[in-house]
Structure 1
């Protein structure tokens, strides 16, 4: 059995435009064979994507979110959202993909995360 994406991933490099390039594509994160910051340290990854520390939100955040929800990604940070946030959005807006926006994402405190 082969698995195929329902929606192709966007061009994370944005055609080599550094202003529109995804932060995960260019941000230095510790990465080894057994550690991937985008899956292992999700709070740090979400902070990078959401611009928590540097006040620069990833320009690809919305595209990333739609791609993740379309393909039912279950692990890692996508569009700056946690796995629980993605699952909540997938369930709530299952029949309304036009509502797959950052503005409709639930707050983290809904799941008592980060406390």
Structure 2
């Protein structure tokens, strides 16, 4: 599989960065230009490269997790409540998201370890 991050995706991620938003939460081109012009080009290229790596990993994780078809059961919520000592009054939707996140991380880690054992993983960035 080849997972690529486009320049448009990099730009979208930059526009979503709170540092470049105004008081109303909208991307501010002037603020962006003021900050970027103070950053040396080599440092900006490093930032862009790190962002590309991060987005690539995020895409890979999302792909692996979507293929894993993870479900959160009532028993999962009960077990989570007991393990984390969470009140019965806690919001089920919020707990479901926490459990789903944990299961997704575990699924990705399992996939990664199995894949790493079988093949040489290359990063093209």
TM-score by length of 1: 0.25
TM-score, normalised by the number of residues in structure 2: 0.23
State the structure with more CA Rg: 2
Indicate the structure with greater helix content. Answer: 2
